Amino acid sequence: MYVDPGCMSIHILGPFSADLGSQSVTPSATKQRQILALLALNSGRVVTVSMLAEEIWGDDPPRSSGTTLQTYVMQLRNRFSKALPADRDARQLLTTRHSGYLLEAGACQTDVEEFERLARAGRSAAEGGDQRTASELLCGALALWRGPAMVDVHLGRILELEAAALEETRLGVLERRLAADLALGRHADLLGELTLLTAKNPMNENFCELLMTALYRSGHVGRALDAFQRLRGVLSAELGVDPCPRLQRLQQAVLSGDPSLEHGFSVRS
């Protein structure tokens, strides 16, 4: 990820870190890390005092929550000031607004923004039929992840939702990358990865569909049908439902040796 040397670089997709130029400005204090993470995820948008208080204290903020937040923000600015050149003011980076605080978009770059940019480009390439470019772009997006989002940040109510949303987005990008590779005829190379993914996500029907198709194209018809039966068993035991109609049609196509299974692949929403 290219980072403007005059901007703060913030990494969210894995261990949390923030750098200004060549200096780390990552807060060590728990609540300051929460505040900076929430501001970074909303870069260019005001994060209200009430939102920050909910993240840090939940339903039981202290009476002094507003003043305490001001102190935390002041401490963050002091940290930034030590890394900024003398002609720059930390209050231009982290500004106070009537209802809250704002991390200026032009003064901050995050790996989430780069991930989303590459994911959009990859999706557009796939929709345009350029699966090779799609695979490369989506691989680049996924390579930005160094572990679970904000793995070393205490997640309050709001950051917990943000982290869950990021993980769902990551899984969607992963599905698209696998589909692009499958469309490129890389089915044999995907078997190990897909076997592990279906084991870790036993109710994910998209991963099961990808695995069944890769197994069928690799000449493992029986294993493809076994994968369907495992999914059916888990869904029945956990939710009392059958696999979706799309998966049931895929099972029938595998049983009948449908020639269409040999060509292409696209992620279904």
For position 49, which CATH number holds? 1.10.10.10
Query: CA separation (Å) from 46 to 21, 49, 80, 158?
Result: 24, 9, 19, 15
Residues 206 and 114 in one domain: no
Residues 20 and 62 in one domain: yes
pLDDT at 21: 82
Number of domains in the chain: 2
Please identify, among 161, 184, 207, the residue that sits at the C-terminal boundary of a domain.
Answer: 184
Residues 65 and 97 in one domain: yes
pLDDT at 266: 65
pLDDT at 17: 96
pLDDT at 267: 63
Residues 159 and 191 in one domain: no
Please identify, among 153, 184, 215, the residue that sits at the C-terminal boundary of a domain.
Answer: 184
Range of the domain at 40: 1-184
Do residues 55 and 159 lie in contact, with contact meaning Cβ atoms separated by under 8 Å? yes
Residues 134 and 193 in one domain: no
pLDDT at 6: 61
Residues 77 and 103 in one domain: yes
Using DSSP's 3-state secondary structure scheme, residue 19 falls into strand
Q: What is the CATH number of the domain that holds 190?
A: 1.25.40.10
Task: Output the tens digit of pLDDT for each of the chain's 269 residues.
Answer: 444 556 899 999 999 999 998 899 999 999 999 999 999 999 999 999 999 999 999 988 898 989 999 999 999 999 998 888 777 888 888 999 988 999 988 888 999 999 999 999 999 999 999 999 999 999 999 999 999 999 999 999 999 999 999 999 999 999 999 999 999 999 999 999 999 999 999 999 999 999 999 999 999 999 999 999 999 999 999 999 999 999 999 999 999 999 989 876 666 64
Residues 219 and 167 in one domain: no
Cβ neighbours for 86, distance < 8 A, ≥ 6 positions apart: none
Closest CA to 39 of 56, 54, 53, 52: 52
Q: How far apart are CA 5 and CA 182, in angstroms?
A: 39
Residues 170 and 210 in one domain: no
Please identify, among 184, 205, 236, the residue that sits at the C-terminal boundary of a domain.
Answer: 184
Q: What's the pTM?
A: 0.90
Residues 210 and 256 in one domain: yes
- The alpha helices in 201-260, defined as continuous H runs, are 205-217, 221-239, 245-256
Q: Which residues pair with 214 in a beta bridge?
A: none
Residues 113 and 158 in one domain: yes
Residues 86 and 53 in one domain: yes
Residue type, 38: L
pLDDT at 2: 47
Residues 42 and 72 in one domain: yes
